[in-house]
Amino acid sequence: MCFRPPSAAKPVECPNCKKKIPVVGGVKQKVCPFCKTELPAETPDKPADK
Ligand SMILES: [Zn+2]
């Protein structure tokens, strides 16, 4: 139900305008295309060693 496909990157949410910025082709946006706010560098959604 709440599993996600392994190849789908989760979208980044803008901390300012709360819009979801989709990660296309594994390329993550550095700034929000909507409000130009700098996006936080999010760690990949996989455990380091566990
Ligand atoms: Zn934004």
Per-residue pLDDT tens digits of the chain, which is 50 residues long: 666 665 567 888 999 999 998 888 888 888 999 999 998 775 666 666 66
42 and 30 in contact (C-beta within 8 Å)?
A: no
Q: How far apart are CA 22 and CA 29, in angstroms?
A: 8
DSSP state of 12: E
| pLDDT score at 6 | 59
| pTM for this predicted structure | 0.58
* pLDDT attached to residue 10: 80
Give domain status of residue 48, yes or no: no
How much distance in Å is there from the Cα of 50 to the middle of ligand 1?
33
29 assigned to some structural domain: yes
Answer yes or no: is 15 within a domain. yes
Q: Is residue 24 part of a domain?
A: yes
Q: Following DSSP, what letter does each residue of 17-31 receive, concatenated?
A: T--EE--BTTBPPSB
Full domain range(s) for residue 32: 9-36
pLDDT given for residue 50 in this prediction = 67
Does residue 42 lie within any of the structural domains? no
Residue 30 in domain = yes
Query: How far is the centre of ligand 1, averaged over its atoms, from the C-alpha of 38 (Å)?
Result: 8
Return residues with CB closer than 5 A to ligand 1 (ion). Answer: 14, 16-17, 32, 34-35, 37
Model pLDDT, residue 28: 82
Partnered with residue 9 across adjacent β-strands are: none
